[in-house]
């Protein structure tokens, strides 16, 4: 064909496109439809997948398939945000915060004497009115704040003494106000259950009475809380659920105590199985920029509010210059809890080695694209050796993300796993025993 003729035809075509418009010609619409179809095929073939279910016993696996089918159903991550970092960053801003009315309780403190009482409003004589529902004493003279959701309007369990109780453990700097905690309470309310949130020392606004905060290796405070809650409702089914560091703490407790716990079952979400691997992953440049530095400043802020309590034990100026969680733990956490080195602390904090000693049914949900918990550190082989343990591993979901649906505001895949599992254990747990 004559080159001049080809050029003329091309010029006329381009002139026509400009005149009728990109979409008016049908080319734009065709491109959009083609891209949409290609993306849908890619999403359905590579993104939406069934989770991997790893159990150490056939009975637990069959129990979950019968009573907790969500763990074997295809997980459809949010189509416009399925990557791990994106889900982790967006979840706190997208998901709603269901209204939860915790039990109110004022605490009067005079000359070291604590008096407690129920009150709908602060007492004029009260020296302290914390946001928490209850403060309990610890053996070292400290105090732990608990937030109670009693669910007295429950129609399924009208008798408070036998109403199932769920103990909730938030993440590293989390409290009872976190959206994922509020969603768990909302779902528990639908089931008729009671919830109590274990706030780590110093994070919920209460006074720090001793120079001690918290770490996921030391389970003394958790043991105190579990004993306290069980003593109040010893006839009620008692379960626990821990998120991120709360899950690490819960697994370390279960690994140490075995079957000698009043808990009948537990669930964990986005647990960091190996603290060394978690720290290494979070120190990669992009992860440090998006997550590590921010969490470090949150930790520094929480201890700086009680700075006067720690000046004799640690160099607080040095602590406040930490640029990563590892540096903070090396300069503060490991020192406060008596570890010789940061490696000693991280070895003791990792729940993976203790998984083989867990003595009650435990369901652990993790995403393999979670930068807080690298997939290579998930103890799959160890889980296969314990009939009480089930790992549910999704391909996507990030850290406490698990977003699903076009606009994932009301519920996540994690919420559905939580609801089905606790209901299954309360109503059918006897099948496992």
Q: Which residues are catalytic?
A: 244, 370, 399
* b/e code 203-223 from CB counts within 10 Å (16+ = b): bbebebbebbbbbbbbbebbe
- Two tokens, residue 196: 């109590």
CB atoms within 10 A of CB 11: 10
- Two tokens, residue 361: 């049914």
Give the C-alpha separation, 160 to 168, whole Å: 18
Residue partners of 82: CB distance under 8 A and separation at least 6: 43, 47, 396, 403
Q: How far is CA 380 from CA 55, 70, 265, 424, in A?
A: 9, 20, 20, 23
Give the C-alpha separation, 94 to 127, whole Å: 38
Residue partners of 1: CB distance under 8 A and separation at least 6: none
| 8 Å CB contact between 392 and 52 | yes
Give the chain's length: 433
Q: Is 391 exposed, middle or buried (0-12, 13-18, 19+ CB in 10 A)?
A: buried
Beta strands 143-149 and 134-137 are antiparallel
Give the C-alpha separation, 390 to 156, whole Å: 28
Q: Is 2 helix (H, G, I), strand (E, B) or coil?
A: coil
Q: How far is CA 431 from CA 124, 169, 220, in A?
A: 52, 27, 31
- Strand partners for 77: 404
* Backbone phi, psi, residue 113, to 5°: -100, 125
Give the C-alpha separation, 398 to 101, whole Å: 29
| 8 Å CB contact between 237 and 165 | yes
Q: 151 in the Ramachandran plot: left (φ > 0), alpha (ψ -120 to 50) or beta? A: left
- Two tokens, residue 47: 């993104």
Residue 427: closest CA among 288, 299, 265, 292: 265
Q: Is 195 exposed, middle or buried (0-12, 13-18, 19+ CB in 10 A)?
A: buried
């Amino acid at each position: 064909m004559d080159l001049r003729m080809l050029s003329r035809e091309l010029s006329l075509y381009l002139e026509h496109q400009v005149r009728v418009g990109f979409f008016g010609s049908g080319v734009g619409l065709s491109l959009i439809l083609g891209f949409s179809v290609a993306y849908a095929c890619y999403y359905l073939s590579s993104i939406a997948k069934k989770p991997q279910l790893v159990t150490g016993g056939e009975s637990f696996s069959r129990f979950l398939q019968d009573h907790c089918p969500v763990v074997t159903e295809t997980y459809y991550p949010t189509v416009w945000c399925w990557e791990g970092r994106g889900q982790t960053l967006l979840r706190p801003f997208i998901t709603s915060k269901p209204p939860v009315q915790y039990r109110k309780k004022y605490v009067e403190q005079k000359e070291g004497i604590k008096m407690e009482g129920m009150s709908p409003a602060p007492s004029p004589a009260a020296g302290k009115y914390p946001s928490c529902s209850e403060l309990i004493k610890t053996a070292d003279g400290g105090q732990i704040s608990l937030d109670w959701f009693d669910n007295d309007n429950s129609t399924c369990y009208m008798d408070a003494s036998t109403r199932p109780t769920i103990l909730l453990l938030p993440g590293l700097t989390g409290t009872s106000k976190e959206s994922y905690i509020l969603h768990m309470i909302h779902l528990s309310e639908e089931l008729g259950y009671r919830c109590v949130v274990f706030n780590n020392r110093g994070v919920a606004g209460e006074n720090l009475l001793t120079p001690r905060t918290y770490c996921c290796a030391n389970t003394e405070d958790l043991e105190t809380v579990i004993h306290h809650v069980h003593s109040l409702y010893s006839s009620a089914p008692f379960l626990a659920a821990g998120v991120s560091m709360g899950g690490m703490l819960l697994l370390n407790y279960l690994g140490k105590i075995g079957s000698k716990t009043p808990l009948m079952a537990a669930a964990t979400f986005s647990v960091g199985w190996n603290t060394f691997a978690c720290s290494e992953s979070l120190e990669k440049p992009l992860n440090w920029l998006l997550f590590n530095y921010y969490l470090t400043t949150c930790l520094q802020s929480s201890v700086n509010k009680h700075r006067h309590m720690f000046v004799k034990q640690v160099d607080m100026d040095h602590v406040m210059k930490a640029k990563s969680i590892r540096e903070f733990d090396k300069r503060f956490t490991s020192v406060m809890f008596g570890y010789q080195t940061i490696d000693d602390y991280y070895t003791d904090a990792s729940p993976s080695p203790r998984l083989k000693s867990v003595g009650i049914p435990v369901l652990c949900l993790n995403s393999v694209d979670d930068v807080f918990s690298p997939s290579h550190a998930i103890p799959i082989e160890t889980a296969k050796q314990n009939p009480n343990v089930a790992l549910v591993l999704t391909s996507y979901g990030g850290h406490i993300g698990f977003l699903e649906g076009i606009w994932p505001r009301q519920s996540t895949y994690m919420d559905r796993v939580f609801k089905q599992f606790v209901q299954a254990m309360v109503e059918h747990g006897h099948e496992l025993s």
